[in-house]
């Protein structure tokens, strides 16, 4: 049973998508796990549906979207800090995320 | 709603009847803009900024000036640029459209060029307002789709909803075009599996491999900073979301910008130049993609946005589909469809797909889109080079 605020796109996926902004410290049910969210996440971001080892493929829509750059635990925010493209590196503006959250 | 169109000599039908004011070098841009200004509802400015010749730009301008939504053309040349204005004028004249070329250097300067151009446009608009219409069906339509300002919602709400609309349009005989091979990186295999023939599957795969190599040389993917803020982590992830716009129909062909789909059905547009990297980024902004859709005859373009693009287009209307409900709340005056309701759980993909389909039919029938009504007329065309498509790319 997974929280209503999360979307599972394909059963084999390693991530769920956040349906709406969720604050740091909130409790979420992901599969059989109950986790406390370590960071605030905004709509459209991803959380780990299952634990992933460093170097393993990250699956979303049932397809690989890159690989983990560190071990990732269930419920952790999955983004640029712990995954990378297997094609071309991702360009992001530092500071833009904090600006967006305001 | 009954659709009515303007029948052109080549058999295609337009859903608008506009005057294109086409500048052939940046130096003629101001004059072109001033010429169109008094008739801005009916006269749209398009053009190519470069002074040096480019075969792609020449053929794009020819296609755009003979787009089914265009009824007459005012060509604005400075006089010393390399663009072949004679060839363009002949191409437009052969299409049965009224056309006139204004060479600023021969007209006595800016003021007199503007006056002469405005007089032409006024007469042309008057003549076009009396044009007869013919009945038009969904099967006469060419519809493009792009996404821009994507975020983590685009691939879940707006893009798959656009895909549902595409499925219905294709089933009713429309030609539907999706793109951007640089945003299909990682989708090669699943896409190739939908190709109408094994030879086309190879072409589809090769087009994405070309894009991956091209972007690797540039050092950046087709991925902007805002994509990451919105929750997308990699180009593959963005690609999977973008790919959803294509729906589930078989892929019938692979075209390049300016190629007109020969039949109804679903086509991929390969927008990444052939040969070595020469002129920089394939498409420097979303509008470049919309322009390429128009050059391939798209009557309108479905534009799915998560972060909130406000752009529209000269010549062919853009239907803006908001993927993200928070963004829709902020930018609703620019958005035609709120696919963000899928995120909130208040609408299904099928419902939004139907809404998009109905919008397409209404816009074809004359209803203005938000960006069209707001006067958005963004246009950009830059240097590129392409080889012609291979024999396996089009349906037999």
Domains and CATH numbers, chain B: 3-134 (3.40.50.2300), 138-393 (no CATH)
Q: Is residue A38 part of a domain?
A: yes
Spatial distance between the Cα atoms of B325 and A18, rounded to a whole number of angstroms: 13
Q: Does residue B240 surpass a pLDDT of 50?
A: yes
Q: What is the ipTM of this complex?
A: 0.89
Per-residue pLDDT at B334: 98
Token readout for B227 is 């994509």
* Chain B touched by A46 (CB under 8 Å): yes
Contact B221 A89 (CB under 8 A): yes
Spatial distance between the Cα atoms of B26 and B360, rounded to a whole number of angstroms: 34
Q: Is residue A1 part of a domain?
A: no
Q: Is residue A60 part of a domain?
A: yes
Place of tokens 């070329």: B101
* Chain A touched by B281 (CB under 8 Å): no
Query: pLDDT over 90 for what percent of chain B?
Result: 90
Q: Does residue A17 surpass a pLDDT of 90?
A: yes
Please list every residue in chain B whose beta carbon sits closer than 8 Å to the beta carbon of residue A60: 237, 240
Q: Does residue A99 surpass a pLDDT of 70?
A: no
Contact A43 B224 (CB under 8 A): no
Query: pLDDT over 70 for what percent of chain B?
Result: 100
Q: Which of B391, B394, B366, B136 is nearest to B265 (CA)?
A: B394
Report pLDDT digits (tens) over B160-206: 999 999 999 999 999 999 998 988 998 999 999 999 999 999 999 99
Residue A9: other Cβ atoms inside 10 A: 18
Contact B187 A63 (CB under 8 A): yes
In terms of CA atoms, which chain B residue is nearest residue A96? B229
Query: CB pairs below 8 Å between A and B: how many?
Result: 125
Contact B238, B226 (CB under 8 A): no
Pairing of β B3-7 and β A15-18: unpaired
In terms of CA atoms, which chain A residue is nearest residue B189? A63
Please list every residue in chain A whose beta carbon sits closer than 8 Å to the beta carbon of residue B193: none
Q: Which of B146, B225, B143 is nearest to B183 (CA)?
A: B146
CA distances from B78 to A82, B8, B60 (A): 54, 29, 19
Contact A90 B233 (CB under 8 A): yes
Q: Which of B293, B375, B365, B300 is nearest to B333 (CA)?
A: B375
Per-residue pLDDT at A89: 78
Per-residue pLDDT at B340: 96
Please list every residue in chain A whose beta carbon sits closer than 8 Å to the beta carbon of residue B223: 88, 90-91
Q: Does residue A100 surpass a pLDDT of 70?
A: no
Residue from the list A44, A89, A97 with its beta carbon closest to the beta carbon of B324: A44
| Confidence label for A101 from pLDDT (cuts 50, 70 and 90) | very low
Q: Is residue A52 part of a domain?
A: yes
* Chain A touched by B221 (CB under 8 Å): yes
CA distance B277 to chain A (A): 16
Place of tokens 């129909």: B249
DSSP B148-159: ES--TTTTTTHH
Q: Is residue A79 part of a domain?
A: yes
Contact B286, B309 (CB under 8 A): yes
In terms of CA atoms, which chain A residue is nearest residue B340? A19
Residue from the list A83, A93, A100 with its beta carbon closest to the beta carbon of B233: A83
Q: Domain with A96 in it: what CATH number? A: 2.30.130.110
| Confidence label for A1 from pLDDT (cuts 50, 70 and 90) | low
Contact A83 B219 (CB under 8 A): no
Residue B284: other Cβ atoms inside 10 A: 12
CA distance B193 to chain A (A): 14
* Residue ranges making up the domain that contains A14: 6-101
Q: Does residue B1 surpass a pLDDT of 70?
A: no
Per-residue pLDDT at B218: 86
Contact B316, B377 (CB under 8 A): no
Q: Is residue A96 part of a domain?
A: yes
* Mean pLDDT, rounded, of chain B: 95
Count: domains in chain A = 1
Please list every residue in chain B whose beta carbon sits closer than 8 Å to the beta carbon of residue A17: 152, 156, 231
Q: Does residue B216 surpass a pLDDT of 90?
A: no
């Amino acid at each position: 049973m997974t929280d209503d605020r999360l979307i599972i796109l394909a059963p084999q996926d390693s991530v769920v998508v956040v349906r709406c902004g969720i604050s740091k410290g909130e409790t979420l049910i992901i599969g059989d796990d109950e986790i406390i969210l370590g960071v605030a996440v905004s709509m459209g971001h991803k959380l780990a549906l299952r634990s992933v080892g460093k170097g393993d493929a990250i699956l979303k829509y049932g397809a690989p979207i890159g690989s983990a750059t560190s071990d990732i635990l269930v419920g952790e925010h999955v983004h640029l800090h712990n995954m990378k493209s297997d094609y071309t590196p991702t360009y992001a503006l530092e500071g833009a995320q904090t600006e967006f959250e305001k | 709603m009954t659709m009515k169109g303007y029948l052109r000599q080549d058999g295609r039908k337009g859903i608008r009847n506009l005057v294109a004011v086409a500048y052939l070098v940046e130096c003629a841009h101001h004059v072109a803009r001033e010429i169109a200004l008094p008739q801005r509802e009916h006269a749209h400015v398009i053009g190519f900024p470069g002074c040096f010749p480019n075969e792609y730009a020449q053929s794009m301008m020819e296609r755009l000036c003979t787009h089914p939504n265009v009824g007459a053309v005012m060509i604005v040349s400075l006089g010393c640029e390399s663009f072949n204005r004679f060839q363009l004028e002949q191409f437009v004249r052969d299409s049965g459209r009224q056309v006139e070329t204004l060479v600023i250097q021969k007209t006595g300067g800016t003021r007199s060029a503007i006056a002469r151009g405005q007089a032409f446009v006024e007469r042309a608009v008057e003549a076009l307002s009396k044009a007869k219409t013919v009945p038009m069906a969904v099967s006469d339509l060419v519809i493009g789709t792009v996404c821009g300002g994507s975020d983590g919602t685009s691939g879940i709400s707006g893009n798959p909803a656009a895909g549902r609309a595409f499925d219905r349009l294709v089933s009713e005989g429309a030609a539907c075009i999706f793109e951007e091979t640089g945003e299909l990186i990682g989708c090669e295999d699943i896409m190739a599996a939908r190709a109408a023939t094994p030879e086309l599957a190879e072409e589809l795969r090769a087009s994405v491999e070309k894009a991956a190599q091209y972007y690797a040389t540039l050092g950046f993917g087709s991925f902007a900073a805002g994509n990451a803020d919105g929750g997308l982590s990699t180009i593959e992830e963005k690609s999977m979301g973008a790919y959803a716009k294509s729906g589930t129909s078989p892929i019938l062909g692979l075209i390049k910008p300016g190629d007109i789909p020969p039949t109804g059905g679903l086509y991929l547009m390969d927008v990444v130049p052939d040969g070595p990297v020469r002129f920089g980024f394939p498409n420097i902004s979303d509008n470049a993609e919309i322009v390429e859709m128009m050059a391939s005859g798209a009557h309108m373009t479905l534009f799915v946005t998560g972060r909130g693009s406000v752009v529209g287009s000269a010549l062919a209307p853009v239907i803006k589909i908001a993927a993200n409900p928070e963004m829709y709340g902020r930018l609703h005056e620019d958005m035609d469809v709120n696919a963000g309701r899928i995120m909130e759980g208040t609408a299904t993909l099928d419902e939004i797909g139907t809404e998009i389909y109905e919008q397409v039919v209404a816009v074809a029938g004359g209803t203005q889109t938000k960006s069209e009504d707001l006067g958005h007329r963004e246009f950009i065309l830059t240097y590129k080079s392409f080889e012609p498509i291979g024999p396996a790319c089009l349906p037999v």
